[in-house]
């Protein structure tokens, strides 16, 4: 039988996915390049096209991611989300410098950018992890940097650039002036650690004010309240190179919390008159390391209407601590979990000075020895209370005098002016 010869069929070289699609090599490559060019051009155009809607801004350790880095001039709403595990803040800063160029301005001592040198348009103060916030600002054409300026956060990368471009309708946008700062009232929270002092406000109304302090460091600290025409930075030049301290004989020390240990609370009450103050730790070397903060005090505005008061374990908070003389109604809320009372007492002593009057046996102040003008007797949690009094100019203390409540902190100073 003759053998049949089968000739092997020559196969074409594989051309990959383009060959499988039936495209010739030259034509396929050209088409591919054209597609990539179009896509690339589209991405560039999309990236450079300013948005007009809300900008989503996600903050985490250690970055800020914005959904758009270009926006048309006008109102810009930032939908903020703290995706981190610690509190963050969100500042909108007008600047000719890029976010990376601003890194050079981070202070090596405070680990922050001095906001006195920044043009801060507006800000979302610290907000907790897992929470959201919304900030709307009016921005004209220009360059901006959004940032978190909490100690160490900027240096670690929490910033992003934002460019504001002209509007399609040609309308010229003017920046909305920031609202006038509102001075704080009531107690000031102060924390100390190596090497910084942070206070809950740098602008406060005048009057009797308590600083509730916490030493979060690893060594003892002190807390001095100093009246000074010089800023905290200017006082650095006056630190004695031999003692590494400021000479307190030439400082106007209004009051102080002496050295107190790590992990323990401190407290100092002062009558703040309008002016500039510096709070500080003046232990050898501590001021030079950065343990200071400025505080501006402005005249208090005396209220004339009803005063809202909230009682909890263990504090009393009012919405005004200075009031015009006359009939005054305190509208009270027991926001605690146990019963409280509310006494209005006229006294020349500060609330903290009355602590020494608490009887060690009864854990109360003997009301026969103080001038109680009027009171709201014990009232249950979640219920309202009210007390109306006629007050003449002078100093008063409002308090809860149930056993041990005063000692735990349930008091506040209250000033009545003509």
- What pLDDT does residue 52 have? 86
Integer angstrom CA distances of residue 212 from 88, 395, 413: 23, 21, 14
Q: pLDDT (tens digit, 9 = 90+) per residue, 336-363?
A: 999 999 999 999 999 999 999 999 999 9
Lowest mean pLDDT among 26-30, 224-228, 410-414: 26-30
Domains 188-298 and 307-417 share a fold: yes
Residue 349 makes CB contacts below 8 A (sequence gap 6+) with 397
Could you tell me which residue, 27 or 159, shows the higher pLDDT? 159
Chain centroid, CA 383 distance in Å: 31
CATH code that applies to domain 188-298: 2.60.40.420
- What pLDDT does residue 176 have? 74
Q: What is the 3-state secondary structure (H, E, C) of the chain?
A: CCCCCCCCCCCCCCCHHHHHCCCCHHHHHHHHHHHHHHHHHHHHHHHHCCECCCEEEEEECCEEEECCCEEECEEEEEEEEECCCCCEEEEEEECCCCCCHHHHHECCCCCCECHHHCEEEEEEEEECCCCEEEEEEEECCEEEEEECCCCCCCCCCCEEEEEEECCCCCCCCCCCCCCCCCCECCCEEEEEECCEEEECCCEEECEEEEEEEEECCCCCEEEEEEECCCCHHHHHHHCCCCCCCCCCCCCEEEEEEEEECCCCEEEEEEEECCEEEEEECCCCCCCCCCCEEEEEEECCCCECCCEEEEEECCEEEECCCEEECEEEEEEEEECCCCCEEEEEEECCCCCCHHHHHECCCCCCECHHHCEEEEEEEEECCCCEEEEEEEECCEEEEEECCCCCCCCCCCEEEEEEEC
Domain ranges of the chain: 55-165, 188-298, 307-417
Chain centroid, CA 250 distance in Å: 33
Residue 101 makes CB contacts below 8 A (sequence gap 6+) with none
State the pLDDT confidence band at 15, using cuts at 50, 70 and 90: very low
Contact criterion met (CB below 8 Å) for 204 and 297: yes
pLDDT of 29 higher than 60: no
State the pLDDT confidence band at 334, using cuts at 50, 70 and 90: very high
Return the CATH class of domain 55-165: mainly beta
Q: pLDDT (tens digit, 9 = 90+) per residue, 31-71?
A: 555 555 544 544 444 445 788 899 999 999 999 999 999 99
Reported pTM: 0.63
- What pLDDT does residue 180 have? 82
State the pLDDT confidence band at 30, using cuts at 50, 70 and 90: low
Q: Which residues pair with 165 in a beta bridge?
A: 72
Fold of the CATH domain 307-417: Immunoglobulin-like (2.60.40)
Q: pLDDT (tens digit, 9 = 90+) per residue, 115-158?
A: 989 999 999 999 999 999 999 999 999 999 999 999 999 999 99
In 10 A of CB 161, how many CB atoms? 17
- What pLDDT does residue 48 have? 57
pLDDT of 218 higher than 60: yes
The mean pLDDT of 226-252, rounded to a whole number, is: 96
The mean pLDDT of 302-331, rounded to a whole number, is: 93
- What pLDDT does residue 44 have? 44
Per the prediction, the chain carries an average pLDDT of 89
Share of the chain above pLDDT 70, in %: 88
Q: pLDDT (tens digit, 9 = 90+) per residue, 90-107?
A: 999 999 999 999 999 999
């Amino acid at each position: 039988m003759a053998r049949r010869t089968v000739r092997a069929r020559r196969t074409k070289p594989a051309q990959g996915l383009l060959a499988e699609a039936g495209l010739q090599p030259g034509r396929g490559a050209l088409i591919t390049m054209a597609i990539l060019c179009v896509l690339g051009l589209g991405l560039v155009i999309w990236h450079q096209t300013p948005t007009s809607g809300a900008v989503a801004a996600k903050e985490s350790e250690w970055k800020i991611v914005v959904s758009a880095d270009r926006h048309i001039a006008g109102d810009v709403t930032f939908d903020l989300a703290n995706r981190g595990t610690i509190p963050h803040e969100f500042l909108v800063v007008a600047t000719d410098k890029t976010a990376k160029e601003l890194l050079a301005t981070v202070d090596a001592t405070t680990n922050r950018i001095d906001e006195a040198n920044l043009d801060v348009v507006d800000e979302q103060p610290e907000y907790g992890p897992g929470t959201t916030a919304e900030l709307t600002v009016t921005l004209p054409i220009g360059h901006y940097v959004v940032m978190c300026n909490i100690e160490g956060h900027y240096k670690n990368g929490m910033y992003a650039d934002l460019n504001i471009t002209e509007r399609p309708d040609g309308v010229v946008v003017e920046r909305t002036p920031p609202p006038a700062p509102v001075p704080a009232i009531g107690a000031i929270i102060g924390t100390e650690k190596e090497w910084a002092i942070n206070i809950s406000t740098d602008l406060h109304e005048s009057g009797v004010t308590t600083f509730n302090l916490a030493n979060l460091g690893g060594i003892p600290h002190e807390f001095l309240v100093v009246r000074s025409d010089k800023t905290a930075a200017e006082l650095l030049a006056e630190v004695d190179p031999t003692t590494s301290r400021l000479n307190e004989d030439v400082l106007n020390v209004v009051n102080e919390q002496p050295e107190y240990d790590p992990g323990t609370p401190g407290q100092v009450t002062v009558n703040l008159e309008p002016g500039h103050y510096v709070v500080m730790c003046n232990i050898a070397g501590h001021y030079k390391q950065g343990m200071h903060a400025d505080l501006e005090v402005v005249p208090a505005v005396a209220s004339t209407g009803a005063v809202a008061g909230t009682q909890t374990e263990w504090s009393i908070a009012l919405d005004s601590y200075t009031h015009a003389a006359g009939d005054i109604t305190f509208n009270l809320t027991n926001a605690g979990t146990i019963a409280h009372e509310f006494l209005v007492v006229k006294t020349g002593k500060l609330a903290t000075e009355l602590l020494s009057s608490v009887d060690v046996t009864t854990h109360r102040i003997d009301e026969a020895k103080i001038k109680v003008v009027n009171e709201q007797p014990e009232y249950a949690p979640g219920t309202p209370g009210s007390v109306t009094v006629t007050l003449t100019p002078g100093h008063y203390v409002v308090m809860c005098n149930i056993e041990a409540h005063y000692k735990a902190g349930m008091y506040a100073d209250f000033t009545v002016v003509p």
